[in-house]
Amino acid sequence: MTNVTPRSDIVLDVQDAVKHYALRRRGLRAPRRSVHAVDGVSIRLHSGQTLGIVGESGCGKSTFGRLITGLETPTSGTIRVGAHGVPIAAAHGTGTVQAVFQDPASALDPRMTVRESIAEALGKVAGRERERRVDEALAAVGLTPEFGVRYPHELSGGQQQRVCIARAIVDRPDLILLDEAVSSLDASLQAQILHLLERLQQDTGTAYVFISHDLRAVRQVSHSVAVMYLGQVVEQAPAEAFDRGLLHPYAVALRSTEPRILDEGTEHVERIVLTGEPPSAVSPPAGCRFAPRCPIAEDHCRSVAPDLVEATSGHLVRCHKPGELTLSGVARADAEV
């Protein structure tokens, strides 16, 4: 392959990504139906940065993760990865993108040693260089070469996840997807793995897409955060906005569920309880998709779908009434955005 000068430090460029899953017809004359798993997501991520993605189960965040790793093909839209902006279909299998998933035990082949599992990601790299790269990856995640001869069942959960991370970084990818990568670990192991990921990013400049339902973990490692609801990004902002002020009612409701220790003088946070179930992804609402559960929705919200617009620099929100619901649970009509 001819060497190409990198176009920029953008390692993930997603434009209007859509993923619909067709359902079986209920009859010959029945209309075709599909699950709107991801509906028009556009995101850019730079090298050395981490994008956190949060949202409740069924919001589309894991489907989006499979799209950017090439495990799923988008129904429409474009996904380019790596410093050269390679289409994801062409990048699949090249090592440009790697992934670490929730359950490390099921992600590792029980018949392969740790060294064999890590080396498998190196493809055509052979000989002493292959051995050296595996040793470097083991050392990077805090494991000694002696771990290389062990099998997955001989490791703890934290050690298994370190092996999965070593396998993800050994071929020096531009982007790593971390899909609930710490959710199965206890609090102390979570802290160790998150610290490890931050250190590795500082050393290598690898970009992360960090998918999790744990807001604290997302805020700890992310530079920016996208909140998804029913297949769409409803808010995207710098991570510090989670402390400074979210604008979308759903994002505010998510933030209100995070456990907090209130010191003297700390603003009281009222937990916002959302009523009802999320609408069907087969037939999303015509207006705002969150309107059926939104405590401040009006008729206009239910009939007109809002666009994702920039409220302040780098802070995007998809809402007709951004900022009118706060963590105190009180709507304010005079909110400035």
Dihedral angle, C-alpha 312, 301, 239, 166, nearest 10 °: -130
Q: Are 255 and 327 in contact (CB under 8 A)?
A: yes
Write out pLDDT tens, residues 112-165: 999 999 999 998 888 999 999 999 999 999 999 999 999 999 999 889 999 999
Q: What are the chain's domains?
A: 1-96+173-189+202-222 (3.40.50.300), 241-337 (no CATH)
Q: What is the pLDDT of residue 233?
A: 97
Task: Sort residue 277 into left (φ over 0), alpha (ψ -120 to 50) or beta.
Answer: beta
User: pLDDT tens digits, the chain, 337 residues: what are they?
Assistant: 333 434 458 999 999 999 999 998 777 777 788 999 999 999 999 999 999 999 998 899 999 999 999 999 999 999 999 877 888 877 766 678 999 998 998 999 999 999 999 999 998 888 999 999 999 999 999 999 999 999 999 999 889 999 999 999 999 999 999 999 988 788 888 888 899 999 999 998 999 999 998 888 898 899 999 999 999 999 999 988 877 789 999 999 988 887 664 444 455 566 788 888 889 999 999 999 999 999 999 999 999 999 999 998 889 999 999 999 887 755 544 444 3
Q: What is the pLDDT of residue 92?
A: 65
**Beta strand 175-179 pairing with 10-22:** unpaired
Burial of 290 (0-12, 13-18, 19+ CB in 10 A): buried
Separation in Å, CA 182 to CA 60, 165, 210: 19, 11, 10
Q: Are 80 and 13 in contact (CB under 8 A)?
A: yes
User: Which pair of structure tokens corresponds to residue 333?
Assistant: 């009509």
* Backbone φ and ψ of 180, nearest 5°: 55, 40
Q: How far apart are CA 20 and CA 262, in angstroms?
A: 43
Q: Where are the beta strands (DSSP E) in the chain?
A: 10-22, 34-46, 50-54, 76-81, 86-87, 97-100, 175-179, 207-211, 224-229, 232-238, 309-312, 315-317
Dihedral angle, C-alpha 115, 120, 122, 123, nearest 10 °: 150
pTM greater than 0.85: yes
* Backbone φ and ψ of 183, nearest 5°: -70, -25
**Single-letter code of the amino acid located at 92:** H
Give the other-Cβ count within 10 Å of 223's Cβ: 17
